[in-house]
Chains A and B, each alone.
Chain A
């Protein structure tokens, strides 16, 4: 993978993270299940871990290449 390619992936990941953490999507998940608490915190943790996982893959993968 060349430098500009990984750079573009990183920028895309940042965009994805910003999108996942912001209202339009956050509002979608802000609803309670049949009874009990909102899914929102659960969603946030899942999205958070997803972003971190992608970042780890991107960074470590890139490190091997360069």
Chain B
């Protein structure tokens, strides 16, 4: 059963099954019934983290270094716990920016820089290719162990040439698989549904295979874990195998490996691919954040039993990396080793598939596209579609990456154990962490800082891990490991600056991250960001800000036609039509493209070509400032946003306070008006009743006493007539007042001469005043006083003033003086009397309705035959004067020492005459 044909049939049959599953997944996706739209499938696809290195290497590491293998999985557990915060933000950014890979992510964060993207892609290529080689090596090795057992595998390996090496053919089959299912869409930011389905299946296979062998070893080879550990406890050389002493670097190495695994889990290109790019729903992160760690526990559960069993049982083949295979083989079981081989194959192929897709996307989008866009020749011949080109580049890249991996595997061969290569790659990938993580939370990180930090970290990694690795493989003289280059001991790669006591990975991680973070932060503090960088930095750091969703970021101008030809050239006609088929707006090629359409076009290009190239292309057709930087920054600037919010809040509360004050005042005024209204009604009734009562009384006397003397009858009738006149005058006044207050008083303003009007009014009242014994003095300083006014109403005012003055003049020798004079740009007419005057606090009240100044000795006044006022004359007068733009007020009389009522009216200017 372990013959080559059977093993090969099973292995390639398994690969064929992967094709079927992937094809099924893709077809379901096309039908709209996605199979990967579940958090469980998502968690299983993340388990691509467990590679052949986990499958075979964990046992080896446990056998050699005790519990330190667990750190490789505790780190990701910590990372997944942060998924609802950290990874969710990454997913959000990637979906809004159409990010295709971690290189694209970092390039987009730092102003869509193509050079930074290329740097990341290069580092990934150099750092990850050995890791791919490691998977191929695992396939070759496991196949050799399976077929040759109990003969040691190494004997045969050296003799094989590549066409008999199974991993070469596996690599080729994988290349076909990846080309078929990894490059179906040009848009690399779209999900590879079939591929993810296959990966999730592979995760199940490797878990089942490992659990099977674990159960077999623990419960079949031994009588359960109790028996196993009792036997371990009995063998003195194994005591202490699982304590911290076995961990390289001790406590420091422990923490270093934990941090390393944490960072690498987030930054390995394949992890970024499945975690971020292939995520279909942010909500899946919640389930995955505990389900994936649970998967890790399950796959690690039997690592220690298998390792201990392997160390206990005397077997000819002592390589701990192969215990998973050799233990069941040693028991003479046939089926389980084959299952284990398939499990290892699934772990290796899963990793190779995802890693190759991620790397090929980086190579095509971050390395090749910027070069192609720069070359003149391509621009001239770019009238045709470039969509095919792009996919072609990606496919060639896939084949090249796999070949490179195979080459590395063939060349460096056996010098490294599985774990060693894996951890070297981890430290390489961890160099992306500062640029990515710091960039996501610190807006000030600049491109220069990120580039220099990455370069420094990468170089440190090369010096402290990669070169020593080459040296140990015999490619370089290993002497410099011992004594340092040129004999400089402080430059020894494994003890840089004399730092000893660390394991080599923690040591490399410490120095590389120190250089990386130090330069990133330090340089960022002293460099400035370009506008695009600022925008991108803001968009990344504030990705979870809900205000972002509704911002239109484009301000530049282009036409639909130009956009169309650009998209056609790069994405093909079908995609272009889909992007341009806007539900609204004109379809005419000459109309300007709306900002939303430009943004959509850039996103589509980003998904296919990477953000840096997309930006270059969009800028080639869009005129003017492409991004509305100000508005974005203003939206995103949380500080200013909060300040603005506070300011507005304060404004609002001030406004509220003011409105409240106004309301209170209005309420006060309304109450006052209500009170005045009540008073007014009472007054009016009272005023109307007085004349009515006397009319009625005299009329009744006349009716009841027919034999009244004629003289009395005439007198009574005269009183009735007078009182009726008074009544009608009162009613007239009330009506005037009502019109004044409601604003319905109709005035007939015209240019008139106040002097003439005064003379006319004086003539009208002169007789009456003389009858009352009032001596009236008229003092007109002017010959002419032009004003704008209604002559009838003004005359009414003047007569009213004179009449009032006559009433309040002194009882003995009552005198009234009218004086008209110019005062600045107006005329003042004052009417004074020699009465008792009005106290200052009473002066405004005389203008209240029905207010009557109490006279000392009113009775004698009545006796003098002066009629009582209605109390409405002055309010009406003031209203009329105010309507004409003048004023009316009370002051002390300058000459007669009584009260003086002053009316002021503005001078009317004649346009024909110059101003005086």
A-side residues, CB < 8 A to B, are: 7, 10, 13-14, 17-18, 21-23, 26-27, 30-32, 35-38, 40-41, 44-45, 48-49, 51-52, 55-56, 59-60, 62-63
- Which of B81, B241, B258 meets A55, CB within 8 Å? B81
The listed residue with most A CB atoms (<10 A of its CB), out of B71, B258, B290, is: B290
- Contact A22 B81, beta carbon cutoff 8 Å: no
Residues of B within 8 A of A22 (CB): 254-255, 258
Whole-angstrom CA separation of A49 from B294 in the bound complex: 8
Q: Are A36 and B244 neighbours in the complex by a CB distance under 8 Å?
A: no
Chain B interface residue count: which class? 35 or more
Q: Determine the chain A residues whose CB is within 8 A of the CB of B251 once the complex forms.
A: 23, 26-27
What are the residues of chain B within 8 A of A59 when measuring CB–CB?
84, 286-287, 289-290
Could you jot down 26 A-B contacts, CB within 8 Å?
A: A10-B81, A10-B84, A17-B81, A21-B78, A26-B244, A27-B244, A32-B239, A32-B243, A35-B233, A37-B233, A38-B243, A40-B67, A40-B243, A40-B244, A41-B242, A44-B67, A45-B297, A45-B301, A48-B297, A51-B77, A52-B77, A52-B290, A56-B290, A59-B287, A62-B286, A63-B283
B78 near A17 with CB under 8 A, answer yes
Known: A40-B67, A59-B286. A48 touches B77 (CB 8 A): yes
Q: Is the CB of A36 within 8 A of B290?
A: no
CB-CB under 8 A from A41, the residues of chain B are 67, 70, 242, 304
Given contacts A44-B67, A59-B287, whether A36 and B243 have CB atoms under 8 Å apart is: no
Chain A residues contacting B66 (CB-CB under 8 Å) are 38, 40
Inter-chain contact B239/A37, CB cutoff 8 Å: yes
A55-B81, A55-B290, A62-B286 are known contacts. Are A23 and B67 too (CB-CB below 8 A)?
Answer: no
Closest to A21 in B: B74
The 8 A CB mask of B230-268 against A (1 = contact, 0 = none) is: 101100001111111000000100110010000000000
Give B residues with C-beta under 8 Å from A.
Answer: 66-67, 70-71, 74, 77-78, 81-82, 84-85, 229-230, 232-233, 238-244, 251, 254-255, 258, 283, 286-287, 289-291, 293-294, 297, 301, 304
Chain A residue at minimum C-beta to C-beta distance from B294: A52
A38 touching B240 by the CB < 8 A rule?
yes
CA distance A41 to B240 in the complex (A): 12
B289 to chain A, nearest CB (A): 6
Most A CB contacts (10 A, CB to CB) among B78, B82, B243 go to B243
Q: For the complex formed, measure the closest distance between the CB of B387 and the CB atoms of chain A, giving whole angstroms.
A: 41
Asked if B242 and A38 make an inter-chain contact with CB atoms under 8 angstroms apart, the answer reads yes
**Closest A residue, CB atoms, query B69:** A41
Q: Assess the A51–B293 pair: CB atoms within 8 A.
A: yes
Residues of A within 8 A of B254 (CB): 22-23, 26
A28 to B784, CA, bound (A): 113
Other A-B pairs beyond A36-B230, A41-B67, 9, CB < 8 Å: A14-B82, A17-B78, A38-B66, A40-B67, A41-B242, A55-B81, A56-B290, A59-B286, A63-B286
- Considering only CB atoms, which chain B residue lies closest to A40 in the complex? B67
Contact A13 B297 (CB under 8 A): no
Q: Given the complex of chains A and B, what is the CA–CA distance between A36 and B232 in angstroms?
A: 7
A21 touching B258, Cβ below 8 Å: yes
- Once bound together, how far apart are the Cα atoms of A40 and B238, in whole Å? 15
Q: Which residues does chain B contribute within 8 Å of A36, judged by CB atoms?
A: 229-230, 232-233, 239
- On chain A, the residues within 8 Å of B229 by CB distance are 36-37
Name the distance in Å between B859's Cβ and chain A's nearest Cβ: 83
Chain B residues in 8 Å Cβ range of A52: 77, 290, 293-294, 297
- Distance of B227 from chain A, by nearest CB (Å): 13
CB-defined contacts of B244 to chain A, threshold 8 Å: 26-27, 30, 38, 40
Task: Among A18, A37, A49, find the residue whose CB has the most chain B CB atoms closer than 10 A.
Answer: A37
Question: Across the interface, do A23 and B232 meet the contact criterion of CB distance under 8 Å?
Answer: no
Smallest Cβ-Cβ distance to A18: which chain B residue: B78
CB distance from B252 to the nearest CB of A (A): 8
The 6 closest A-B pairs by CB, nearest first: A36-B233, A38-B243, A55-B290, A56-B290, A23-B251, A30-B244
A51 to B294, CA, bound (A): 10
Give Cα A45 to B251, complex, Å: 18
CB contacts (< 8 Å) of A63 on chain B: these are 283, 286
Distance in angstroms from B904 CB to nearest chain A CB is: 68
Q: Determine the chain A residues whose CB is within 8 A of the CB of B85 once the complex forms.
A: 7, 10
Contact A44 B243 (CB under 8 A): no
Complex CA–CA separation, A23 to B77 (angstroms)? 17
A55 to chain B, nearest CB (A): 4
Alpha-carbon gap, A35 to B860, bound state (A): 132
B829 to chain A, nearest CB (A): 76
- Smallest CB–CB gap between B194 and chain A, Å? 28
In the complex, the answer to whether A14 meets B241 with C-beta atoms within 8 Å is no
A38, B313: Cα distance in complex, Å: 20
- A60 / chain B contacts, CB cutoff of 8 Å: 286-287
B240: which A residues are within 8 A, CB to CB?
32, 38
- Bound state CA distance, A53 and B293, in angstroms? 10
Q: Name the CB-closest residue of B to A62.
A: B286
With the chains together, A35 CA to B236 CA distance in Å?
Answer: 10
Closest to A6 in B: B84
B82 proximity list for chain A (CB < 8 A): 14
Which residues of chain B come closer than 8 Å to A10, judged between CB atoms? 81, 84-85
Among A21, A40, A55, contact of B289 (Cβ-Cβ < 8 Å):
A55
- The answer to whether A17 touches B77, judged by C-beta atoms less than 8 angstroms apart, is yes
Nearest Cβ distance between residue B393 and chain A, in whole angstroms?
41
Please give me the residue from chain A that is nearest to B291 by CB atom: A56
How far apart sit A37 and B236, CA to CA, in the bound complex (Å)? Answer: 10
- Residue among B240, B242, B291 facing the most chain A CB atoms (10 A cut-off): B242
